[in-house]
A and B are shown apart, each in its own frame.
Chain A
């Protein structure tokens, strides 16, 4: 096989184009993968690039001039700062509550056999398989029917976000719990720890990576949600709702700045995780 490839390659002096073509043919899947990633990255690159644009008119569609102004004066657009703050507040609060509730459900489903386990699984699965517009409008129907007591705003958004994040937390934590080595807990109990101490000192630390992953996912879902939020927000503006508002007129470059900043923080955390996993894999390989 190698010799065949070498004899093909050796008469050489073939033009660059045909050599390139042979390379492409041999690595076509790799080339495709790189192209696909380029396709995924293209809009992101555009968002970041245009955060540095100095648009000529109201529209930030055509590249004109490089500037840092948008980043320095990111909050000079009316409403953008408070919208971002609202998004962050809701995301933090909803993620915290949903992660706690979801982790408990996951523990119950994986650790216990009880009547109604199947039904629980179905109820957890349903929100993930329902279109957002249906969930959003059903919640709105609930709130509208109680309109004398419930005012649409911060807390209705919070309620909605916790609701749709819970299922994702359950799924993420469940995956980790299923592959969980229960001998470690048994060992702790044998050494005299009671159930609560075992949970605190053994179960929780081992589950921590999954819980953190679930929380990050929940945070990302919350800060990005538009459909459900829009239907239940009343007068409150989160960042996506702010973008929806300006998209009908003209999107200022500051929107790109905020989106780029969110992206860079998230990708930074993601890259740190990749490097950490890579190192961990390397050290375990070295250890054995």
Chain B
């Protein structure tokens, strides 16, 4: 074996790659082809036939463009909220936390250790009609006497923001942490105010983190359906809710498949822009 590898050194990388890449090819790439195949079928469960049914796409779009647009709007607001909330925290951890750095990083990822569905359900407790948050907001008249937070757009977007916060905070931290403090000193020496050195040195240098965090937050958020299902009503349904219901409840595989493709295609187009 050893001597065989020695004689065919150029084969080594392919042997190392083979098992894992085969797995990804068979269970990630091939399924995409099947999804495409299914999206062009017609008929009713369980008798689907492949008929190059491109009208699936147009009818899916006309039927569910509301949910599609809503998904991107919610994901966009949540991503922006994550960026605004996470940046100062990541900044503090990178520049001010000192020995506490690792502990605070652990705090950031801690929500991941609680089952996704359970931590989303916890927001049900927090935002509940009888809960303290609603009571205070009613007392200060931000909410009307019957106002509620649950089953509103606010609850869904807040849930998404909370759940994907670490995806934003971690890349931000990584890029901020790599900034050479001497750059900031240099900008001070050149008489930049702290605002100027923040805007002209810190922010541009943390751009890779901002981009990575935005992608890591926006993409899963756009496909999410748990927050809308648990914290919202059908009026807050996102495209994920529709795809999931089409696949598992109404057994309308072709529509579900074409919606999946539309979701992915839209994200790809956004990535390229």
Contact = CB atoms under 8 A, between A and B. Distances in A.
Interface of A: 29-30, 32-33, 36-37, 39-44, 46-47, 50, 61-62, 100-102, 104-105, 107-108, 111-112, 114, 117, 120, 123-124, 126-127, 129-135, 137-142, 144-145, 159-160, 162-163, 166-167, 170, 194-196, 220, 223-224, 226-227, 230-231, 239-240, 243-244, 247, 251, 255-256, 259-260, 262-263, 266-267, 270-271, 274, 277-278
B131 to A, nearest CB: 8
Nearest to B222: A131
Interface in B127-146: 128, 130-131
A234 B126 CA distance: 33
B4 interface: no
Contacts of A240: 115-117
B264 interface: yes
A134 B263 contact: yes
A226 B116 contact: yes
Contacts of A162: 23, 27
Contacts of B122: 42-44, 46-47, 50
A144 B24 contact: no
Contacts of B6: 195
A37 B104 contact: yes
A110 to B, nearest CB: 10
A33 B89 contact: yes
B102 interface: yes
Contacts of A166: 20, 23-24
A244 B117 contact: yes
Given A42-B126, A256-B118, A227 B225 contact: yes
A120 to B, nearest CB: 6
A90 B105 CA distance: 28
Residue among A107, A133, A270 facing the most chain B CB atoms (10 A cut-off): A133
Contacts of B96: 29-30, 33
Contacts of B260: 133-134, 137-138
A61 B23 contact: no
Contact of A134 (B16, B113, B264): B264
Contacts of A132: 220, 223
B201 interface: no
B30 A142 contact: yes
A32 B31 contact: no
B233 interface: no
Interface stretch (B52-60, B179-187, B242-250): B242-250
A239 B226 contact: no
B192 to A, nearest CB: 18
B73 interface: no
24 contacts: A29-B91, A29-B96, A30-B92, A33-B88, A33-B93, A36-B88, A40-B111, A42-B122, A43-B114, A102-B20, A104-B20, A105-B21, A114-B13, A130-B219, A130-B264, A131-B220, A131-B267, A194-B2, A220-B113, A231-B247, A244-B117, A267-B113, A270-B106, A271-B106
Q: Which 3 A-B pairs have the closest CB atoms?
A: A131-B223, A101-B20, A43-B122
Contacts of B30: 142
Nearest to B93: A33
Given A112-B12, A114-B14, A251-B121, A243 B115 contact: yes
Contact of A47 (B114, B128, B226): B114
A37 B100 CA distance: 13
Contacts of A160: 27
